[in-house]
Amino acid sequence: MNQRKLRSLQSRLGRLARNNCVNYSAGNCLLTRCGKCVVEIETDRLPGNVCPYFMKFVLPADSKLMGEYLDYFPRGYPLKKKKQNLKLCERCGEPFEKRSNAAKYCPTCRSLNKRDKARARKQKQRANVTQ
């Protein structure tokens, strides 16, 4: 995510905490040790400081903002909604949203698998021509 979107997300989260959070006083969160309601989003996508009150009671008021914010959290985070059509890719093991019952691969691996099969098919065709 680019820095402009990241700063926009952080400012909207800060505004939401400032206007709606009961534990936000004089620029600081009263529940967390470092005094911030909202996590500082880093490039490694790991949350560092999250106020439990903010996450459970304030953030759900803006569902779009909550969805954008939770995209930065690890896969098993409790508040992160689980997608219904998730399946593990047979090639890389990552979860992906399947679009049909026959889907086996995530979009990245699907293109790699298609390329590998085309290569094998062409090699077999070339081997049969020379005999």
Q: Are residues 65 and 120 in the same domain?
A: no
pLDDT reported for residue 46 = 45
Inter-residue contact 90 to 74 (CB < 8 Å):
no
Pairing type for strands 95-97 and 86-88 reads antiparallel
Q: What residue ranges of the chain have pLDDT lower than 70?
A: 1, 33-49, 75, 77, 81-84, 130-131
Q: What is the Cα–Cα distance from 103 to 88, expressed in whole angstroms?
A: 10
In a domain, 81, yes or no: no
Q: Tens digit of pLDDT for each residue in 80-112? A: 766 567 889 999 998 888 888 899 999 999 999
Domain assignment of residue 96, yes or no: yes
Q: Is residue 9 part of a domain?
A: yes
pLDDT for 120 equals 96
The whole domain housing 18 covers: 3-70
Question: 64 with 94, same domain?
Answer: no
Judge whether 43 lies within some domain: yes
User: How many structural domains are present in the chain?
Assistant: 2
Residue 79 located in a structural domain? no
User: What is the pTM (predicted TM-score) of this model?
Assistant: 0.53
